[in-house]
Amino acid sequence: MTPGMESLRESAVINLTGAVTMVVDDSPFGLDITASALLGFGIKTRYACHSAAEAIDILKEQSIDLLVVDTEMPEMDGYQLVRWLRRSGLDPNAFAPVIMTATHMRRSRVAEARDCGANFVITKPFSAASLLERIVWVSRDTRPFLEVGDYFGPDRRFRRGNPPGEERRADVLRKAQFEAEKAAAAAESGE
Amino acid sequence: MTVITHARRASRLAKLIDTPGGVSIGTALAQAKSNLEALQPRSLEEVAKAVAELGAIQPPATPEDGDAALTTAYHAASRVIDAVGPFGLEDIRLAALGLCELIDATSADKPFDWRVLPVYAQSLQLLLSLPAEQTDARAKVRASLGEMVDRKLAQTG
């Protein structure tokens, strides 16, 4: 079980009331959905931004504890915003936990999603439980930050356990399916 | 390649989450669910707006116009997915997702088939107007869109 999953016991108590949070989404309704879910967790969205430019102006001046940003936005998109943030030299904002939300992941942007420096990308629509699970997970994320070539962000290798949520990695799913078929075949042949 | 490792400092979020006070996970999720339910009536309105925008997109006169129109269509389809949110309406979400896939599979040598767009706009409109209990009719709309996506994706590779 991942640290995030473990923390989502119904009786576990979390205190996110003081978390200075920024949500960036060009869709007003999308932003309202995210902010409403966060409010349920006790997080009052301090900065609600409809563009990356608006977010940058604030990030230069104010410290934040959590950034939730949509991937697809006109002009400067979420990936560019996160890449800028990580390379901004702003302390502590450059190291702030970042969760990206995506309605659809373009094939051409998969590498960008991996390389922009976000802690996590989740796909919409997300349930309140999955969003909270990821917030708890990024809050407990102890991965060091790495500077490797053009990349600056959390170590992209998960050394302990797995990322939170349902397994979606194609190679892991294929392996699991192969193992299950092998076990079924063995059971059928009475081995 | 040089790798510089910055030892992770505990973020303020990490410190905050364990401070006294706050709410239980169960309460947090119940509150969030209640907050989201309050947004549900807006969901269909937002979907309808995005679908209307899709329906208004005209096939481009030039390839340059095509890029802009495709971006508009992609964003409109994304807004449908956004607006559907956590409120069910899975068939509408999947339909919009199919359009995103088709647009994403477009390239210079595999152009977008603009005949698809009105089909999508009309199908999404139909899904919006069909009562939820008409599951067979809704499934048929979804299935025909799914077949179209599969066919087009097979063509574009």
Domain boundaries, chain B: 42-156
Q: Are strands A145-148 and A151-154 parallel, antiparallel or unpaired?
A: antiparallel
Q: Of A68, A80, A71, which is closest to residue A38 (Cα–Cα)?
A: A68
pLDDT at position B74, please?
93
Distance from CA of B15 to the nearest CA of A (A): 8
**Is residue B157 over pLDDT 70?**
no
pLDDT at position B67, please?
84
Q: Of A99, A46, A16, which is closest to residue B24 (Cα–Cα)?
A: A16
Chain B residue closest to A154 (CA)?
Answer: B8
SS3 A157: coil
Contact between B100 and A104 using a beta-carbon 8 Å cutoff: yes
pLDDT at position A168, please?
63
C-alpha to C-alpha distance for A104 and A125, rounded to whole angstroms? 10
The neighbour count for residue A188, using CB atoms within 10 Å, is 8
Considering CB atoms only, which of B13, B25, B75 is closest to A19?
A: B13
C-alpha to C-alpha distance for B129 and B91, rounded to whole angstroms? 13
pLDDT at position B152, please?
84
CATH of domain A3-160: 3.40.50.2300
Give the residue ranges of chain A where pLDDT is below 70.
1-7, 158-174, 190-191
**What are the tens digits of pLDDT across the range B121-139?**
999 999 999 998 999 999 9
The neighbour count for residue A123, using CB atoms within 10 Å, is 17
**What are the tens digits of pLDDT across the range B27-58?**
999 999 999 999 999 999 999 999 999 999 99
Contact between A128 and B32 using a beta-carbon 8 Å cutoff: yes
Confidence of residue B11 (pLDDT cuts 50, 70, 90): confident
Distance from CA of B39 to the nearest CA of A (A): 7
C-alpha to C-alpha distance for A98 and A22, rounded to whole angstroms? 10
**What are the tens digits of pLDDT across the range B14-35?**
999 999 999 999 999 999 999 9
Q: Is B8 exposed, middle or buried (0-12, 13-18, 19+ CB in 10 A)?
A: middle
pLDDT at position A180, please?
80
pLDDT at position A156, please?
78
Task: Say if CB A128 and CB B32 are below 8 A apart.
Answer: yes
**What are the tens digits of pLDDT across the range B64-114?**
778 889 999 999 999 999 998 788 889 999 999 999 999 999 888 888 999
Considering CB atoms only, which of A15, A36, A127 is closest to B17?
A: A15
C-alpha to C-alpha distance for A122 and A107, rounded to whole angstroms? 15
Task: Provide the chain B residues 73-92 that lie in CB contact (below 8 A) with chain A.
Answer: 74-75, 77-79, 81-87
Chain B residue closest to A16 (CA)?
Answer: B17
Structure tokens at A73: 């936005």
Q: Tell me the chain B residues in contact with residue A38 when contact means C-beta distances shorter than 8 Å.
A: 32
Write down the H helix ranges in chain B: 12-17, 25-56, 63-84, 90-104, 116-129, 135-156
Domain ranges in chain A? 3-160, 166-191
Under DSSP, the state recorded for A41 is T
Q: Of B85, B126, B79, B128, which is closest to residue B99 (Cα–Cα)?
A: B79
Considering CB atoms only, which of B22, B38, B105 is closest to A13?
A: B22
pLDDT at position A5, please?
46
Locate the DSSP E strands across chain A. 13-14, 21-24, 45-49, 66-70, 98-102, 120-123, 145-148, 151-154
The neighbour count for residue B1, using CB atoms within 10 Å, is 5
Q: Tell me the chain B residues in contact with residue A14 when contact means C-beta distances shorter than 8 Å.
A: 17-18, 22-25, 28
Which one of B16, B80, B84 makes the best mutation probe of the A interface by having the most chain A beta carbons within 10 Å? B16
pLDDT at position A31, please?
95
- Say yes or no: B68 contacts chain A, CB-CB below 8 A: no
Looking at this predicted complex, what is its ipTM? Answer: 0.87
